[in-house]
């Protein structure tokens, strides 16, 4: 049975588009929250809500009972956890480590093994749901690690999400996230092409969405990102540069398993073109611009 988690100190590393909302839910739930991010200004909103700033990851790690990370890239994860001033070197024995960054399954397994040597409990728990899911505490959380650690942390994970599932041992959460990103990658192509088709056929694309979004074509991307495409809103709920990172990890993992993923390769090639044209900091829905630039008159 899970212990009472009421008084545990939450350390949160990474307060970007999603991390900020995720950390805020713990403050709202009455937990003491410590935060660290490379740019302190990104944490100002959380600090105004009652979070406490820490100058170094090591300082946060030494004081927190549960450390949650939501950073950018696998090399960031490696530095935060395995560096000399990182989490594993400075966390108290018995601390729970939860990496919610989308990262490499092999790195999640490595962190788990190193954490175990220091009497720490590690879970890889990447998420899906974007800025909306993070804001509304309705994220899907895909978890890899030990059953006992999962049972202990599940009440905290459910503060951020509504679909929290242990998928298997260390790295299983990251592998599941790769399945998620592979699905989204090809789906986004379909969403962009459907909107482009609707416009070319002289239809009102918003009205088209009212029909197809409620049928078999319905998906999170169609219902949440297609309206942004139509409105010309390319603000990031999830950055193109991070989608490219995720697709690169998925392609690498698929190659290691001998799996062909032509749809994923196509999607990545289109996003690579967008990044080369200066759209790396736009939201993934900006893929529609590729179609707009390549349409025949």
Domain end, chosen from 134, 150, 168, is at 168
**Per the structure, how many domains does the chain have?**
2
pLDDT digits (tens, 9 = 90+) for 195-227: 999 999 999 999 999 999 999 999 999 999 999
Residues 177, 241, 268, 289: which is the catalytic one? 177
- Per-residue pLDDT, 6: 59
Predicted TM-score (pTM) of the model is 0.90
pLDDT digits (tens, 9 = 90+) for 96-124: 999 999 999 999 999 999 999 999 999 99
Residues 141 and 209 in one domain: no
Token readout for 19 is 């991390």
Residue 141 falls inside a structural domain: yes
Q: The domain that contains 97 carries what CATH number?
A: 3.40.50.720
- Per-residue pLDDT, 296: 67
Domain end, chosen from 122, 148, 168, is at 168
Cα gap 144→122, rounded to integer Å = 9
> What is the domain extent for residue 124?
10-168
Residue 5 falls inside a structural domain: no
- Of 215, 209, 252, the C-alpha closest to 106 is 252
Chain-centroid distance, C-alpha 237? 10
Residues 200 and 108 in one domain: no
Residues 122 and 205 in one domain: no
Spans of the chain below 70 pLDDT: 1-6, 296-297
Residue 2 falls inside a structural domain: no
Does the annotation mark 177 as catalytic?
A: yes
Residues 184 and 54 in one domain: no
- Per-residue pLDDT, 3: 47
- Per-residue pLDDT, 297: 56
Residues 153 and 198 in one domain: no
- Per-residue pLDDT, 1: 37
Cα gap 30→37, rounded to integer Å = 21
Cβ atoms of 114 and 81 closer than 8 Å = yes
Residue 1 falls inside a structural domain: no
- Per-residue pLDDT, 45: 94
């Amino acid at each position: 049975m899970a212990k009472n988690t009421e008084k545990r100190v939450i350390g949160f590393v990474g307060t970007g588009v999603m991390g900020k909302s995720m950390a805020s839910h713990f403050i709202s739930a009455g937990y003491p929250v410590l935060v660290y991010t490379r740019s302190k200004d990104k944490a100002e909103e959380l600090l105004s809500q009652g979070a406490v700033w820490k100058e170094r990851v090591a300082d946060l790690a030494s004081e927190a009972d549960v450390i949650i990370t939501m950073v950018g890239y696998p090399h960031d994860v490696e530095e935060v956890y395995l560096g000399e001033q990182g989490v594993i070197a400075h966390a108290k024995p018995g601390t729970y480590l939860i990496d919610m960054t989308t990262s490499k399954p092999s790195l999640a397994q490595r962190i788990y093994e190193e954490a175990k040597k220091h009497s720490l409990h590690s879970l890889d728990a990447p998420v899906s749901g974007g800025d909306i899911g993070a804001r509304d505490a309705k994220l899907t959380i895909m978890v890899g690690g030990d059953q006992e650690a999962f049972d202990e942390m599940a009440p905290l994970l459910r503060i951020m999400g509504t679909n929290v599932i242990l998928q298997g041992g260390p790295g299983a959460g990251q592998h599941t996230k790769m399945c998620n990103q592979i699905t989204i990658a090809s789906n986004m192509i379909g969403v962009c092409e459907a909107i482009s088709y609707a416009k070319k056929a002289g239809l009102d694309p918003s009205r088209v969405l009212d029909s197809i979004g409620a049928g078999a074509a319905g998906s999170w991307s169609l219902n949440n990102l297609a309206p942004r495409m139509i409105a010309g809103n390319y603000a990031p709920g999830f950055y193109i540069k991070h989608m490219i990172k995720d697709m690169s990890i998925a392609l690498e993992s698929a190659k290691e398993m001998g799996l062909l993923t032509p749809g994923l390769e196509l999607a990545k090639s289109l996003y690579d073109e967008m990044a080369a044209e200066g759209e790396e900091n736009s939201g993934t829905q900006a893929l529609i611009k590729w179609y707009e630039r390549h349409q025949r008159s």
